[in-house]
Amino acid sequence: MIGKNDERRKTDVQKKQELELQKKKEAAVREIPQMPSSMFFEHNEALVPPYNVLVDTNFLSRTVGAKLPLMESAMDCLFASVNIIITSCVMAELEKLGPKYRVALMIARDERWTRLTCDHKGTYADDCIVERIQKHRIYIVATNDRDLKRRIRKVPGVPIMSCGKGKYAIERLPGAPAS
């Protein structure tokens, strides 16, 4: 008696499908993302003074709430000169938030900060920042957003600056004082 799963009962179509599936499994190449040449293990050698600080919306609002000067506090935290960078997505997000964030918007419009224009659709600043740091790991990201911090921590070599307790604190920057 021939069993239900016997090879002799299978049709040619079923055999071809099984062979194709087997070939796909063998041909599956796992792609590992290419690390930048500036990364030495977990240490990012592209981060040198003057530091480029990419600022997020809630970091600006927290800075206003704590009544801290943006440039001076960042320089005190990093012990070096800094370039404050604000993307067009962050500016659009601040404008959308309305009159409650007008002081943060005034600070963001300051002429001293560098503006980066975004070429993507939409104005969601978190996606913009994560995309930008994955392409170029030359930024320190200033944010207080938990979800954004969680996403940034997955990208090796990108330090995070946050505002709390009346001062700025940096995390994951080699040689930085623990604050």
On whether residue 108 sits in a domain, the answer given is: yes
pLDDT category, 142, cuts 50, 70, 90?
very high
CATH number at residue 92: 3.40.50.1010
Q: How far is CA 27 from the centre of its chain?
A: 32
Chain mean pLDDT for the chain:
86
Question: CB 38: neighbour CB atoms within 10 A?
Answer: 15
Q: Give the separation between CA 31 and CA 33, rounded to whole angstroms.
A: 6
User: What percent of the chain clears pLDDT 70, i.e. is strictly above it?
Assistant: 87
In 73-129, where do the E strands start and end? 82-87, 114-116
Q: Which of 13-22, 28-37, 73-82, 83-92 has the lowest mean pLDDT?
A: 28-37
Residue 114 confidence (pLDDT) above 90:
yes
- pLDDT, residue 177, reads 52
* Residue 90, domain member (yes or no): yes
In a domain? residue 104 = yes
- What is residue 128's predicted lDDT score, i.e. its pLDDT? 92
CA 138, 107, 149, 171 dihedral sign is positive
Write down how long the chain is: 179
The predicted-structure confidence for 34-66, as pLDDT tens digits, reads as follows 667 666 656 777 788 899 999 999 999 999 999
In the prediction, which pLDDT does 113 show? 95
Q: Which domain holds residue 106?
A: 53-171
CA distance 66 to 63: 5
* Short-list 143, 150, 137, CA closest to 74: 143
| Interaxial angle between packed helices 57-66 and 88-97, expressed in degrees from 0 to 180 and rounded to the nearest 10 | 60
Q: For residue 176, tell me if it sits in a domain.
A: no
Number of domains in the chain: 1
